[in-house]
Amino acid sequence: MSEVIHADHHDDHHHGPEKGLLRWLYTTNHKDIGTLYLWFSFAMFLIGGVLALVIRAELFQPGLQFVQPEFFNQMTTNHGLIMVFGAIMPAFVGLANWLIPMQVGAPDMALPRMNNLSFWILPFAFGMMISTLFMEGGGPNFGWTFYAPLSTTYAPDSVTYFIFAVHLMGASSIMGSINIIATILNMRAPGMTLMKMPLFVWTWLITAYLLIAVMPVLAGAVTMMLFDIHFDTSFFNAAGGGDPVMFQHIFWFFGHPEVYIMILPAFGIVSHIIPTFARKPLFGYSSMVYAVASIAFLSFIVWAHHMFTVGMPLAGQLFFMYSTMLIAVPTGVKVFNWIATMWRGAMTFETPMLFAIAFVVLFTMGGFSGLMLAITPVDYQYHDTYFVVAHFHYVLVPGALFSIIAAVYFWLPKWTGKMYDESLGKLHFWLSFIGVNITFFPQHFSGLAGMPRRIPDYALQFADFNMLSSIGAFIFGFSQLVFLYILINTIRSGKPAEGRSWEGAKGLEWTLPSPAPYHSFTHPPKVTEAEIQG
Amino acid sequence: MKKIILQVVGTVILTVSALWVQADELNLRAGVTEISKEVYSLHMLILWICVAIGVVVFGVLFYSVYAHRKSKGVEAAQFHHSTKLELAWTIVPTLILVGMAYPATETLIKMYDTGGEDMTVEVRGYQWKWQYKYLDEDYNRTFSFFSNLATPRSQINNRQVKTDTYLLEVDEPLRIPTNRKVRFLITAEDVIHAWWVPDFGIKRDAVPGVVNDLWAIVPEPGIYRGQCTELCGKDHGFMPIVVEALPEAEFDAWYASRVSTEVVRTESFDDTFSHEQLMAKGEEVYGTYCSACHLANGQGIPPAFPAIAGSAVAMGPKDDHLRLVIEGVAGTGMQAFGKQLDPVELASVVHFQRHSFGNDAGDLSQPADVINLSGGQ
């Protein structure tokens, strides 16, 4: 197949990547850039993970053992920032780069040079942010939500580097999103109408719009911080007529869509993996699309549920409570559709499927605690306790992260042309699954018992659950080294994979050979019913 | 076979839930106020609804995982759509949500009914302590005090055995009467804090420049403990909240005595003190207010928290030193202690700093100096 394509287009295409390291600096190829994004996010995941282990080591027992409170706050802050902006988001962009052109039948992304730029900004942004940890006075220590005035008047001097780093990350995300939208809207193969697009493409299209809508809001927030810090304005300074609560409104107007940015592509991934291994079409394709669109819409009108304790008027509290509860409806539709897809299928349980099923179960548990948090009067008891920590880690770790890992196992044969080791993959799954639950399930209990989040030391009644949580964190953390080993092992010495690497796999990417050719589709492919999800 | 599995699963669920309900450590506290109990039952209601949905949804999922596997030789069905099902699983959850929202709204409306209070206390968050101001009917201050962490550093640093109230104990608790409606006005001096007493079911952010209000009627005397729940800097984990609810008569007696000591304390601002008196008082104040940052040995944690030992300020003119402590240093962790300490405390802590850690300024700081510097107030 690929030989045929090459023969057709011999004059105007260069067929392979350049040699040497400069290939990675100058590349405009969607696969190379996807690879860069994925390895970068994996590196950030390991760094963020090390910070998490510092936190869990300190919390293993009551009392201060390893680090001082100032340093502990830097660990929680940077763990959050690195995981959100450095690990999860770039990993999804990496997947989008690899998969969207192949799934819509395009040769590459629509804007390849911008693609290169949007990746190469990131190492500088994170280099700048992480370097602050080594500066006099330390790095950001005000939580990943950086509430003013703790992050302005009371911040360490390095906050200015943090602000510029956030600006750069935002610019990178916006460029990445423009590229994704341009690719999806302009480069689909003939016959691939919007309602025939694979769900990963649909979820990313909607995610990209969310990113374009909210990243400028984040940029606005950090710019106002910059002005408060250096130019004596008082946007968030009550003494000068500003309002610290306004910061939170602006931050969460960005922040809530942001959390859906980190989960919608995951929905897409799982909607590919479950039908494949159930050998059955995705149940309720169109309702899946509508559900994602409704979630995206609702994400703009629920932001203040992060701020129930800030002292809003009753009517405001009620509005945000009701709108937040509504999110359970489209989210439920998705979960029910996945289960209906599994129902009466002929399932096998390869590693991607295991991660996908764990995603459905554990993400739903995160959804339950999310529903509990939506109930304003009860949220007063949960707010800013470990119950919240348990909630968002359930949706982000066995949620977003598991979906990314599942995607890597699922498409790795397509990317590398080689098959990973199935038993090692299963080992990785079970270690991760057990580790994640030992880490985060007990945090529900310590939260309900009253343990506030972001504290380096705690009262004695929280000791047992914290110890358990720390043990789980180390199991989970070290089992990711198994993942790294599997990846390297596959790339170096995996068994050759077929073009359609999985028996039940559907979609244009599987019509390509494995590994996929450097320029995916140089001729628009024919979109046949057999390769369509709906 | 199936029956046995069902029985085992049923027993496990019942045992776990029985344990859950019994053990305090595993669940939210019901608390003592009417509101907190209502919040608790709301929590339990939603929890059980979630558990029920979870059992059904995960039950179907795991049954499918168990039954619909290729290794059993099943052939995959090819159905992929049902408008009826889609409608059902949109409408039924919506109805369940309405069922949850109704009681939640009722409770929330009750919580917002802050009027008709019998007394008002202003709660003000500082890095890293709480100040309680008792207000009279016209919202004027009668007296106020700071409530600081009482757990010694030696316990935190594992050099001494930790007690049961580790990190949940203060030098002076907020005292309120039982059976009276107490209104709390919540605000902050520097960054955002949050005031939470789990047993009362109330939590509110303390935001600089904003006054939030909360209320509680506590039916039972007792000591209720909570913590700051909004990240507020270095010692966020070390600013607990302790409220002691006293029977009404006992509270009234305490309140009256507190008002009279307030008069005596204010009169002492006119006195002059000896070196020994100032050093003794100053050491106490230093331990509570200064040592968290400047450390017990005066060495500080440069650059954020400079050393006092051998510092130019502590060896320089007395008035400059006093002014720095009274006014603080804007944009740093050094707070304006003029708002937190009285003239006797300010004079003695400055005197202590000027004659400790190897410093020897050889002068005396008196309350009168403080009053002069702060414009006679």
| Catalytic residue (choose from A167, A280, A334, A428) | A334
* Tens place of pLDDT per residue across chain A (534 aa): 444 444 444 444 556 677 788 899 999 999 999 999 999 999 999 999 999 999 999 999 999 999 999 999 999 999 999 999 999 999 999 999 999 999 999 999 999 999 999 999 999 999 999 999 999 889 999 999 999 999 999 999 999 999 999 999 999 999 999 999 999 999 999 999 999 999 999 999 999 999 999 999 999 999 999 999 999 999 999 989 999 999 999 999 999 999 999 999 999 999 999 999 999 999 999 999 999 999 999 999 999 999 999 999 999 999 999 999 999 999 999 999 999 999 999 999 999 999 999 999 999 999 999 999 999 999 999 999 999 999 999 999 999 999 999 999 999 999 999 999 999 999 999 999 999 999 999 999 999 999 999 999 999 999 999 999 999 999 999 999 999 999 999 999 999 999 999 998 999 999 999 999 999 898 899 888 888 876
DSSP H helical segments within B68-207, as ranges?
83-111, 153-156
Name which CATH class applies to B119-267.
mainly beta
Active-site residue flag, A172: yes
Q: Does B190 touch chain A (CB under 8 A)?
A: yes
Q: Which residue is closest to B72 within chain A, CA to CA?
A: A346
The DSSP letter of residue A43 is H
> Which A residues 454-473 touch B at CB under 8 Å?
454-461, 464-465
Does A260 touch chain B if contact means CB atoms closer than 8 Å? no
Which of these, B78, B71, B21, lies nearest to B47 by C-alpha position?
A: B21
Would you tell me which CATH number, out of the four given (1.10.760.10, 3.30.300.350, 2.60.120.1030, 3.40.50.300), belongs to the domain B271-373?
A: 1.10.760.10
Whether residue A334 lies in the annotated active site: yes
> Is residue B17 predicted with pLDDT exceeding 90?
no
Taking contacts as CB-CB distances below 8 angstroms, the residues of chain A near B100 are 325, 371, 375
Nearest CA in chain B to A370: B50
Largest pairwise CA distance in chain B: 96
A295 vs A265: CA distance, rounded Å = 12
What is the least distance, in Å, from the CA of B345 to any CA of chain A? 26
> For chain B, which residues make up each domain, given as ranges?
27-62+81-113, 119-267, 271-373
B95 CB burial (10 A radius; 0-12, 13-18, 19+) = exposed
Minimum CA–CA partner of A141 in chain B:
B233
Kindly determine whether residue B158 and residue A150, on different chains, have CB atoms separated by under 8 Å.
no
Give the number of A-B residue pairs with CB atoms closer than 8 Å: 286
Structure tokens at A431: 């270690």
Q: Cβ A384–B28 below 8 Å, yes or no? A: no
A327, A267 Cβ separation under 8 angstroms? no
Q: Which of A331, A376, A470, A514 is catalytic?
A: A331
Q: Which of residues 241-270 of B touch A (CB under 8 A)?
A: none
What tokens does A64 get?
Answer: 């201060």
Residue A445 in contact with partner chain B when CB distance is under 8 A: yes
In sequence order, what are the beta bridge partners of B123? B132, B186
Task: Supply the pLDDT for residue A6.
Answer: 46
In DSSP terms, which residues pair with B121 in a beta bridge?
A: B134, B184
- Is A161 among the catalytic positions? no
Cα A103 to Cα A95: distance, rounded to the nearest angstrom: 11
pLDDT, residue B350, reads 92
Q: Is A344 on the interface with B (CB under 8 A)?
A: yes
Residues of A in contact with B108 (CB under 8 A): 314, 317-318, 321, 376-377
Interface residue of B55, B86, B109 to substitute, partner A, most A CBs within 10 Å: B86
- Among the residue ranges A363-367, A473-477, B127-131, B308-312, the one predicted with the least confidence is B308-312
- Four-point Cα dihedral B121, B124, B130, B131, nearest 10: -60
Nearest to B97 among A154, A325, A383 (CB): A325
pLDDT band at residue B6 using 50, 70 and 90 as cut-offs = low
Q: Which residues are registered as beta bridge partners of B194?
A: B205
pLDDT of A187 reads 95
The pTM of this model reads 0.89
Active site residue A306: yes
Arithmetic mean of pLDDT, B77-85: 91
B59 reaches A (C-beta below 8 A): no
The shortest CB-CB distance from B229 to any of A452, A456, A464 is to: A452
Residue A147 to residue A71: CA distance in whole angstroms: 18
Environment class of B135 (CB within 10 Å of its CB; exposed 0-12, middle 13-18, buried 19+):
middle
B327 touches A: beta carbon within 8 Å: no
Instruction: Show residues of chain A in contact with B60, CB under 8 Å.
Output: 339, 343
Nearest to A112 by CA among A41, A183, A52, A204: A183
A209 is catalytic: no
Helix pair angle (B34-67, A328-342), 10° resolution: 20
Inter-residue contact B299 to B328 (CB < 8 Å): no
| A305 in active site | yes
CA distance A316 to chain B (A): 12
Cβ atoms of B292 and B304 closer than 8 Å: no
Closest CA to B294 of B318, B339, B302: B302
Q: Residue A282 carries which DSSP code? A: P
Least CB-CB distance to A281: which of B28, B53, B80? B80
Residue entry with tokens 């599942």: A406
Within 8 A of A284 by CB-CB distance, chain B residues are 80-82, 85-86
Nearest to A499 by CA among A508, A491, A511: A511
CB atoms within 10 A of CB B168: 22
Q: Would residue A350 show up in a list of annotated catalytic residues for this protein?
A: no
B99 Cβ partners below 8 Å, 6+ apart? Answer: none
Percent of chain B, pLDDT > 70?
Answer: 92
Residue B3's pLDDT is: 60
Task: Give how far A41 is from chain B: nearest CA, Å.
Answer: 28
Helix (H, G, I), strand (E, B) or coil at A89: helix
Mean pLDDT of B318-323: 90
Kind of pairing between the strands at B202-206 and B193-197: antiparallel
| Residue A368 forms contact with B (CB below 8 Å) | yes
Report the C-alpha gap between A324 and A298 in whole angstroms: 8
Does residue B96 contact residue B104 with C-beta atoms inside 8 Å? no
CA count, 13 A, side-chain hemisphere, B72: 15
Q: What is the largest CA-CA distance in chain A?
A: 73
Q: How far is B275 from chain A (nearest CA, A)?
A: 35
Q: How many CA atoms lie within 13 A of A274 on its CB side?
A: 35
Query: What's A371-388 look like in SS3?
Result: HHHHCHHHHHHHCCEHHH
What is the Cα–Cα distance from B67 to B293, expressed in whole angstroms?
A: 63
State the sign of the Cα–Cα–Cα–Cα dihedral A123, A125, A130, A132.
Answer: positive
* A364 interaction partners in chain B (CB closer than 8 Å): 54, 57-58
Considering only CB atoms, B86 lies closest to which of A65, A314, A333, namely: A333
* Partner A contacted by B232 (CB < 8 A): yes
B164 close to A (CB below 8 A): yes
- Which pLDDT band, with edges at 50, 70 and 90, does B10 fall under? low
Q: Any chain B CB within 8 A of the CB of A282?
A: yes
CB–CB contact A328 B97 (8 Å): yes
Contacts of A459 in chain B (CB under 8 A): 165-168, 227
Better pLDDT: B221 or B319: B221
ipTM metric? 0.90
- Considering only CA atoms, give the Rg of chain B: 29
* Nearest-5° Cα angle at A339, A336 to A342: 155
Q: What is the pLDDT of residues B218-230, one digit of tens each?
A: 999 999 999 999 9
